[in-house]
Amino acid sequence: MKKKVKALAKKKVKASRSDFIGRCFLFRTASYHILGRVKRVADVCGTNFFELETGSSWVADSGRFSEAMNNGSLCEVEVIKKPNHLVNPAACSDILEWHHELPTETK
């Protein structure tokens, strides 16, 4: 078992910047969650940021996380109507692809 864990730990996930464009993700950091569709990867002072399309959301309460990811149900979400929300992927604890409709209204 230890050998399998070590082998998985050594395996690197490679993704190009273009792999994210046009897809929806839930970005989780230590203090907040952001949900949105990646418009482009922007270089800001030498750091790659994901620029999200207008209509990204701050998820204040995801509810049961498995239900959010499996069904797209969220308890409390605030839609950001202004454009150009930037997310630094280096600040994320994880980035999960969102396979559901994005919220369009604050609830």
Q: What is the CATH number of the domain that holds 60?
A: 2.30.30.100
Domain membership flag for residue 86: yes
SS3 content of the chain, % helix, strand, coil (to 5): 20, 35, 45
Domain membership flag for residue 53: yes
The dihedral formed by the CA atoms of 62, 32, 21 and 50, expressed in degrees to the nearest 10 = 170
72-88 average pLDDT score: 91
Domain membership flag for residue 59: yes
Domain membership flag for residue 51: yes
Domain membership flag for residue 62: yes
Between 59 and 8, residue with greater pLDDT: 59
Domain membership flag for residue 39: yes
Q: Is the pTM of this model over 0.85?
A: no
Give the chain's domain count: 1
Segments forming the whole domain that contains residue 60: 17-97
22-30 average pLDDT score: 94
Domain membership flag for residue 4: no
